[in-house]
Structure 1
Amino acid sequence: MQYEPGLSRDELIQLATRTYFGNVDAKNMEAALDCFHDGALFCVQTDFTRHSGKEEIRRMFDDFFAAYETIIHRDFTCTVDEANGRIAASFVAELTDADGGVTLLNNTNFWRVRDGKFQEVYVYMSGANVLV
């Protein structure tokens, strides 16, 4: 399903890389969740994991935020379909746990945006799923 275009190319990139990942990296739960529609779907395709709705997505982030002292998403390469409200980004996720152990992942996310918020998110993760 396609959604009406609503955000420009730059606004889609801002939503994905700065608003969303910026708040995830800051562990700012409410601002990160505000990027999603109430009935949003969040799937980790490489692990067949699915979170449906904001409450399931909140629980996923609660666990993710608790598991890592620092979360950094960086080195974004974005591809944007402005006409259909879609964006894809490849990036590095650098996660540091309480013992100082570092997990580096090379991931790609695909977002479907409706009315300025994520309706669907599909994640392809290079290692073990950290978003269970």
Structure 2
Amino acid sequence: MSTHPYPYYVDIVTKRYFDGVDNFDLQKVLDCFHEDAVLTEVTSKTVHEGRDQGIKTMFEGLFDAHSVIWHGNFVHTADTESEAICSQFSVEVTPKGSDECLRYENCNRFYLKDGKFTRVFVYMSGDNLLK
């Protein structure tokens, strides 16, 4: 059973993880994950294993490819007993060298252990940006 209250799950997702992504703060993002965490982009069946290997490389690629990343309009459903949170949200990204803002409506399912992500499942409404 979780030792964290409901607001903790919302905070790690919004104030730590997505804030880190939106501000291109790789260390802040990686600090949300256990060392052996796995992130799966379900829509394209892309799997990134290990915080310091696959997940780090994936975020480096995301940051290198975009000049603007924004997440907002969150709707969360947390299950503190199973240490999980499902977050629906809007995404806006601008690829480097472009003025075009791409918009997505996505959903992530986060599973935690001891306050950090162990598994993350990403469902994207458009092309996979997490290669």
Q: What TM-score, normalized to structure 1? A: 0.95
The range that moved more, 114-123 or 94-103, is 94-103
Shift of 1:40: 0.1
Aligned mate of 2:14, from 17, 20, 25: 17
In structure 2, the residue matched to 1:72 is: 70
The answer to whether the 8 Å contact 1:24/1:32 transfers is yes
* DSSP 3-state at the match of 1:14: helix
In 1, the alpha carbon distance for the partners of 2:94 and 2:3 equals 36
In 2, the alpha carbon distance for the partners of 1:39 and 1:82 equals 21
CA RMSD for the aligned pairs? Answer: 0.7
Count of aligned pairs between the two proteins = 129
In structure 1, the residue matched to 2:45 is: 48
In 2, the alpha carbon distance for the partners of 1:96 and 1:40 equals 28
Shift of 1:70: 0.7
In structure 1, the residue matched to 2:26 is: 29
Q: Which runs of 5 or more structure 2 residues have no equivalent in the other structure?
A: none
Percent of pairs identical after alignment? 33
Shift of 1:90: 0.3
Q: What TM-score, normalized to structure 2? A: 0.96
